[in-house]
Chain A
Amino acid sequence: MKQYNADVIVIGSGAAGLAAAIEVKKANLSVLVIERDKELGGITLQCIHNGFGLKEFEEELTGPEYIQRFINQIKELEIPYILNTMVIEISNDKKLYAVNNEDGLIEIKAKAIILAMGCRERTRGAINIPGFRPAGIYTAGQAQRFVNIEGYLPGNTFVILGSGDIGMIMARRLTWEGCKVKAVVEILPYVSGLLRNQVQCLEDYDIPLITSYTVTKIHGRDRVKGVTISKVDRNFDRIIGSDKFIECDTLLLSVGLIPENELTLNAGAELSKNGGPVVDNNLETTIAGIFTCGNVLQVHDLVDLVSAEAKRAGQNAVEYVKNRYDKKSSKKEIIKCLSGENVNYVKPDRINKRDLSKDIIFTLRVNYPDRRVLIQLKDNNNNLIYKRKKIYVIPSEMVELIVNLEKNGIDPKCKSINIEVIPRPEVLIEEE
């Protein structure tokens, strides 16, 4: 059995994994990147549209251009990586087992692990659309892979369910290829991806966006022949009599992403309700020494944010390896972070009491759009710790807060803090 040792193992070589690995190497620790695909880069490789890198490099790049900059650094820093390798088991003493076709079974020992496996797409089954099960139903990302990597078209005429970013980007991409995108259908009353994609991918190409509608039946036994779409009420129940038939030979689904956490569970770490691992403010999971970042933790809007989060995970893993014997001895005291009104989830899930003097980065998503809101942090005794005004919030845009809890006068004995996004009563428009 082939064996590897490294201070830090990074699982996944997408935007998260590479940025994390580079941070570890810069701190002069040994790091090994494990990638299940045949090349480094992850899903970014199939995102050939532009819009990447505005924050990270202050330039507009395509997905492959963006990730290549990280790949180049991996090579410059001589960071070792193994490709075509699937991790099949993580034991709680941070021993990993993986397989690939050259080495067979591989045993890898690490002092810390960074989980950066990304996410997967929700499927038709997950949303339970009735009808036939013909050829011609794809998730948007799968269609993206066929078109951009494999060089094949999955259909002629399309309906896209879900106005997530990949769905809208694929609407434009398929139009460029000579395909007809009849409609993008969204169950919510508003677009679920970024506004810029709504403008650049749909409106610029006259692709209709039909909101408050969903696909209620798939037609065609062998190949998709069309879909029935129906208007939905506030509870997303079909409004009777609102059915419309749209003829198409392909249905793309862009109905959300789910963090891919099989290995996280295998390692014994807890998951939170957003589907990502429970983490503390250092992005450490409930297993000491196992860190996580990128879309496996939470689905991000922009790859630049993934890279930034991953750097933190890399730095924290370095810190852990350098001081790990101390940490073992001291029992962690934590403050829980709870999602309050109009907060879908918040990361981190908990804060180490010994880190209260540090700046804590909170990321959260709201449940529904709102204008002129107040984002508040209160402790379990209802003491206000922090507040911030915001012009608007929408579920498709992650909100980031950087808060120094100690400077804001948190009671160090509190058990939890509650984060809420509430309507701001005053009419005064003074923006952040």
Chain B
Amino acid sequence: MIYDVIIIGGGVIGCCIARTLSKYDLKICLLEKEAELASGTTKGNSGVVHAGYAAPREYIKRNLCIRGNKLYTQAAEELNFPFQRIGSFVVALEDSQIKVLEEQRRQGIQDGIPGLEVILDKEKIKYMEPNINDEVVGVLHAPTAGIVSPYEMTFALADNAATNGVKFLLNQKVRRIKHQDYTFTIKTKTQEFKSRNVINAAGLYAARISKLVGLDYFEIMPRRGEYILFDRNALHLNKILFPTPTKVSKGILVCPTLHENTFVGPNAQNITDKKDISTTEAGLKEILEAGRKLVPNLPVRSSIRNFAGLRAVPDTYDFIIDNTDIYGFINIAGILSPGLTSCFAIAEKVVEFLELLGVELKIKEDYNPRRLKPERFKDFSKEELDQKIKEDPSWGRIICRCETIPEKEIINAIHAPVGATTVDGIKFRCRPGMGRCQGGFCRPRVIEILSRELNIPYEEVTKRGEDTNFLIAKTKDLTLKEIEGGTE
């Protein structure tokens, strides 16, 4: 079988392209090297949908970001992923910074970003965001900026794409690509796939994939960003808060999440190891100090997790969005911020490229753009809840106490179109273990449910795929081994 399109990479970009293309009558497959989707740059991401004023005008990412922001409204509605346009503040703490804000506003308005406004009235600023530093002198308010959960959105995109016929294959690290007779042959450890067209959305590894077909014209380097997440209700922010940008970075932000947490981060460290998602003592200190400049009363004692993500930084600075010289091979690389915002606009580009490549794009008759919202215990009224439990008793068995997640939501996550197969996969889909006890109570139960639903032994249940097993043996196994060893 020869696919029309193979997408390499199951992050938000790969899944967004898959979902956009699933509208057409094409045979599509997505390959992801990890055990779960959204495992790379998508996971350790701020989840901010930017308004689009930040990138310099000469970059294609500026327009893709502005366009991408607009496309979110419809996508969130069709796919039912949580998204809120809460608006952002770029915060000036010194008078000299106001002119930076004014310039961003002026250019942004020219480029069609709605509602940009520089607010100098401190009372009004404090009213809109009571937690902001008292020393604020002005803010750039961008009402179209919003927050999204990058991984929940990725799962929504993937589930909808899968429902519309896209095949998702996990644990498929691409090792070789052969290009012959207008056909790409892609080899992974266990399988071989053929496709007319290949879309490289491999994130941190996009340069490696590009080189597999002989296209060696860019490099991707990891830039690490560390975060600290605070407990729900420890601090309630209304707005996404950025510092006034410098030439290097948009800076460390303080931001609410869709689940009532607040986080601070990310810093920016250029590193060499693409697997180094460790946090550092110095880095955590750095982000707290930076965060305190925006919000002096950061609830440091209520932190529930620190984590780090990597950005895929291209040596070309701008996004690499190329219909390459190798016919049918499309590079979508170096998608760092505002990549999440731009994803729907990037997918439109891919459609244009495929048209240029002569791929017949016929809309499927049975295409369904809608994904139903995953049913959540918390969203039900008391009457609905009663009814639901009577229909399916697993709605009444609460597994995660902190976030009130019943067994049914976990079972649904496992049996979704692209279902969870690991404990982290479940955590990122429906949140058991995301709360303040961080899985202390629910993890044994989640392991039990995974073991049962996937029909695998306890010891084979992993945190996030190969080599991340939780349990190593049954009790007495080690002592028995020792006794047996002794008799030999």
A177 CB–B CB distance under 8 Å:
yes
* Residues of B with C-beta under 8 A to A64: none
A153 CB–B CB distance under 8 Å:
yes
**What separation, in Å, do the CA atoms of A133 and B283 have in the docked complex?**
16
* Residues of A with C-beta under 8 A to B404: 86, 88
* Residues of A with C-beta under 8 A to B303: 125-126, 128
CB < 8 Å neighbour of A101 from B278, B283, B396: B396
Cβ-defined contact, A153 with B440, below 8 A:
no
* Residues of B with C-beta under 8 A to A129: 306
**What separation, in Å, do the CA atoms of A351 and B462 have in the docked complex?**
52
> Could you give, for residues 370-395 of chain B, a 1 whenever the CB lies within 8 Å of some chain A CB and a 0 otherwise?
00000000000011011111100111
**What separation, in Å, do the CA atoms of A141 and B303 have in the docked complex?**
21
**What separation, in Å, do the CA atoms of A2 and B389 have in the docked complex?**
12
CB < 8 Å neighbour of B459 from A84, A149, A152, A221: A152
**What separation, in Å, do the CA atoms of A356 and B464 have in the docked complex?**
59
**What separation, in Å, do the CA atoms of A307 and B463 have in the docked complex?**
38
Cβ-defined contact, B279 with A131, below 8 A:
yes
**A178-B479, A221-B277 given as contacts; is B396 within 8 A of A152 (CB)?**
no
Most B C-beta atoms less than 10 A away, residue of A135, A145, A146, A176: A135
CB < 8 Å neighbour of B280 from A125, A130, A146: A130
Instruction: For B469, give the chain A residue with the smallest CB separation.
Output: A135
**A1-B386, A99-B396, A130-B281 given as contacts; is B438 within 8 A of A124 (CB)?**
yes
**What separation, in Å, do the CA atoms of A124 and B278 have in the docked complex?**
14
CB distance from A130 to the nearest CB of B (A): 4
* Residues of A with C-beta under 8 A to B478: 153, 156, 177-179
A154 CB–B CB distance under 8 Å:
yes
Cβ-defined contact, B475 with A125, below 8 A:
no
CB < 8 Å neighbour of A152 from B401, B458, B462, B463: B458
A305 CB–B CB distance under 8 Å:
no
Cβ-defined contact, A120 with B440, below 8 A:
yes
Cβ-defined contact, B481 with A135, below 8 A:
no
Question: Interface size of A by Cβ–Cβ distance < 8 Å?
Answer: 56
B181 CB–A CB distance under 8 Å:
no
Cβ-defined contact, A153 with B382, below 8 A:
no
CB distance from B92 to the nearest CB of A (A): 30
B187 CB–A CB distance under 8 Å:
no
A268 CB–B CB distance under 8 Å:
no
CB < 8 Å neighbour of A153 from B389, B406, B475: B475
B305 CB–A CB distance under 8 Å:
yes
**What separation, in Å, do the CA atoms of A262 and B482 have in the docked complex?**
46
CB distance from A205 to the nearest CB of B (A): 14
Cβ-defined contact, B393 with A133, below 8 A:
no
Cβ-defined contact, A101 with B397, below 8 A:
yes
Instruction: Please provide the chain A residues from 87 to 142 with a CB less than 8 Å away from any CB of chain B in the complex.
Output: 88, 97, 99-105, 120-121, 123-126, 128-136, 139, 141-142
**A86-B398, A156-B478, A222-B467 given as contacts; is B386 within 8 A of A105 (CB)?**
yes
* Residues of B with C-beta under 8 A to A390: none
**A99-B396, A105-B385, A126-B304 given as contacts; is B469 within 8 A of A141 (CB)?**
no
B441 CB–A CB distance under 8 Å:
yes
CB distance from A146 to the nearest CB of B (A): 6
Instruction: For A88, give the chain B residue with the smallest CB separation.
Output: B404
CB distance from A360 to the nearest CB of B (A): 31
A410 CB–B CB distance under 8 Å:
no
Instruction: For A134, give the chain B residue with the smallest CB separation.
Output: B468
CB distance from B387 to the nearest CB of A (A): 8
* Residues of A with C-beta under 8 A to B276: 221
* Residues of A with C-beta under 8 A to B307: 133
**A101-B397, A125-B438, A150-B444 given as contacts; is B468 within 8 A of A130 (CB)?**
no
Cβ-defined contact, A152 with B474, below 8 A:
yes
A147 CB–B CB distance under 8 Å:
yes
Most B C-beta atoms less than 10 A away, residue of A86, A147, A151, A178: A178
Instruction: Please provide the chain B residues from 454 to 475 with a CB less than 8 Å away from any CB of chain A in the complex.
Output: 458-459, 462-464, 466-475
Instruction: Please provide the chain B residues from 257 to 282 with a CB less than 8 Å away from any CB of chain A in the complex.
Output: 275-281
B330 CB–A CB distance under 8 Å:
no
B27 CB–A CB distance under 8 Å:
no
Cβ-defined contact, B475 with A177, below 8 A:
yes
B477 CB–A CB distance under 8 Å:
yes
CB < 8 Å neighbour of B396 from A104, A121, A132, A262: A104
A336 CB–B CB distance under 8 Å:
no
**What separation, in Å, do the CA atoms of A216 and B284 have in the docked complex?**
12
B179 CB–A CB distance under 8 Å:
no
Cβ-defined contact, B398 with A36, below 8 A:
yes
Cβ-defined contact, A100 with B437, below 8 A:
no
Instruction: Please provide the chain A residues from 139 to 182 with a CB less than 8 Å away from any CB of chain B in the complex.
Output: 139, 141-142, 145-147, 149-156, 176-179
**What separation, in Å, do the CA atoms of A124 and B482 have in the docked complex?**
33
| Sample of 14 more A-B contacts, CB < 8 Å, known A177-B476, A177-B478 | A86-B398, A86-B404, A99-B406, A100-B397, A105-B389, A124-B438, A126-B436, A128-B306, A130-B279, A134-B463, A135-B462, A136-B470, A142-B439, A178-B482
Provide 14 A-B residue pairs closer than 8 Å at the C-beta atoms, listed in order of the A residue.
A1-B386, A101-B395, A124-B305, A124-B438, A125-B305, A125-B306, A135-B470, A142-B439, A152-B458, A153-B471, A156-B478, A216-B281, A217-B280, A223-B468
What 10 A-B pairs come out closest when comparing CB atoms?
A178-B478, A101-B393, A101-B396, A125-B305, A104-B389, A105-B386, A135-B463, A86-B398, A222-B467, A178-B479
Q: Which residues of B contact A (CB under 8 A)?
A: 228-229, 275-281, 283-284, 303-307, 382-383, 385-390, 393-398, 401-402, 404, 406, 436-441, 443-444, 448, 458-459, 462-464, 466-479, 481-482
